[in-house]
Amino acid sequence: MQLHSRLPHVGTTIFSTMSALAQAHGAVNLGQGFPDFDCDPQLVDAVHEAMRRGHNQYPPMPGVPALRQAVAAKLQAMHGRSYDADREITITAGATQAIFTALLAIVHPGDDVIVLEPCYDSYGPNIELAGGRVVRVPLKAESYRPDFERIAAAITPRTRALIINTPHNPSATVWSAAEMQTLADLLAPTDVLLISDEVYEHMVFDGAAHQSVARFPGLAERSFIVSSFGKTYHVTGWKVGYVAAPAALSVEFRKVHQFNVFTVNTPAQHGLAAYMANPAPYLGLGDFYQRKRDLFRAGLEGTAFRLLPSEGSYFQCVDFSAYRERSGQRSDAAFCEWLTREVGVAAIPLSAFYAQGCEAPVIRFCFAKRDETLKQALDKLQSL
């Protein structure tokens, strides 16, 4: 039987490939972006308590009311925008599902969706599965900041939506308030919708503030804001996230949501709602990861890697040019394989975040790891 693939050019992701290679060679895995430490036991207890109290059947399709109310209260407190918990907050099966559902809700065949490269690898396939055309606009070289002239040039009457991501994976850049306002001014005369991937919203360093789309009325009124409890609370395997969007957009979002997942794990939602009563865990997340970033960067200072800025997220990108001759590897993908096999540390090549690859000698490490894991990796990298 012959099967006509919906995604003929898609294979196994680089994250799975590098994790398998790391396991095969006993390497320290700083590739895939998830913690190797446990979440707060109080969060686990809250989920257990929800199970014991009988919260084990289907919840409401948009999500448990208490959790939607907690999300709305957080957005109001942090960004000053009021979202109606009943009509404008939807709990999702993780952020990837949220982005895909938003695209399915708004994109029709023949529509263009702009993505800013490098970008997370699910964006392009999601757009194609929704019937849209991916329009790739590069971020500025070296700085990985938005190039508004190129974004403006890419917008046409066919443009249905734009996807942005701050703090940014993979580059760890964070959009400024001025950049957000420039985007608002650029989109003001258009009907372009915005999907704002803010899953690393609480991981912003050096005293900066996360500039959520929710802070900018001209953007918020056209936006799906996506975030992840998994990233915030160190429980990526739970796959629970949320979308905040104006009521008219949420209506369309929920039409699709009810038919691709319908709803999300009930006891996890109740547990998260109870745990969110204390804002300290997410308010302290930036300091928590900044300490890990600083530990990792200090260790890398003793190597020939050139460190790129890490303003937010839990990633650190480095330029490996100084090691090209020693390793005999020119491409970032080949260097990552060599680093895993010969040095014992796994990373992700930046080219994995481009449709056609890139020539920049840059790789990405994840520092969402125990200090012992980071020190073990640094010992190996310092031996280069």
> Cβ distance 361 to 320 under 8 Å?
yes
> Cβ distance 241 to 93 under 8 Å?
yes
Q: Say what the alpha-carbon torsion angle 47, 48, 49, 50 is, to the nearest 10 degrees.
A: 50
Give per-residue pLDDT as tens, 134-180: 999 999 998 999 999 999 999 999 999 999 999 999 999 999 999 99
Give per-residue pLDDT as tens, 53-65: 999 999 999 999 9
Whether the pLDDT of residue 14 is over 90: the answer is no
Percent of the chain with pLDDT over 70: 100
For residue 294, what is the enclosing H or E element?
helix 285-300
Of 200, 276, 256, 259, the C-alpha closest to 232 is 200
For residue 327, what is the enclosing H or E element?
helix 324-327
Which pLDDT value is given to residue 13? 82
Cis, peptide link before residue 118, omega less than 30° from 0: yes
Of 257, 201, 204, the C-alpha closest to 231 is 201
> Cβ distance 328 to 278 under 8 Å?
no
The superfamily CATH assigns to domain 14-39+283-381 is Aspartate Aminotransferase, domain 1 (3.90.1150.10)
Give per-residue pLDDT as tens, 361-378: 999 999 999 999 999 999
Burial class (CB in 10 A: 0-12, 13-18, 19+), 125: middle
For residue 161, what is the enclosing H or E element?
strand 159-165
The angle subtended at Cα 247 by Cα 246 and Cα 249, nearest 5°, is: 70
- Tell me the average pLDDT across 190-194: 98
Which amino acid does the sequence have at 139?
L
CA distances from 291 to 101, 144, 196, 284, 302 (A): 35, 23, 27, 11, 18
Cite the residue boundaries of each domain of the chain with CATH code 3.90.1150.10. 14-39+283-381
**Residue 92's pLDDT band (boundaries 50, 70, 90)?**
very high
**Which CATH code, of 3.40.640.10, 3.40.50.720, 1.10.287.70, 3.40.190.290, is assigned to 41-278?**
3.40.640.10
> Cβ distance 170 to 317 under 8 Å?
yes
Burial class (CB in 10 A: 0-12, 13-18, 19+), 248: exposed
Helices marked H in 130-224 — which ranges? 148-154, 177-187, 217-220
Q: Ramachandran region of residue 291, left (φ > 0), alpha (ψ -120 to 50) or beta?
A: alpha
Beta bridge pairs of residue 85: none
Distance CA 29, CA 376 (A): 11
Cite the residue boundaries of each domain of the chain with CATH code 3.40.640.10. 41-278
Distance CA 233, CA 227 (A): 12
The angle subtended at Cα 89 by Cα 178 and Cα 56, nearest 5°, is: 140
Which pLDDT value is given to residue 85? 98
**Residue 71's pLDDT band (boundaries 50, 70, 90)?**
very high
Rounded to two decimals, the pTM is: 0.96
Decide the pairing of beta strands 315-319 and 306-307. antiparallel
Which pLDDT value is given to residue 16? 87
Q: How many other C-beta atoms are found inside a 10 Å radius of the C-beta of residue 120?
A: 20
**Residue 126's pLDDT band (boundaries 50, 70, 90)?**
very high
Whether the pLDDT of residue 130 is over 90: the answer is yes
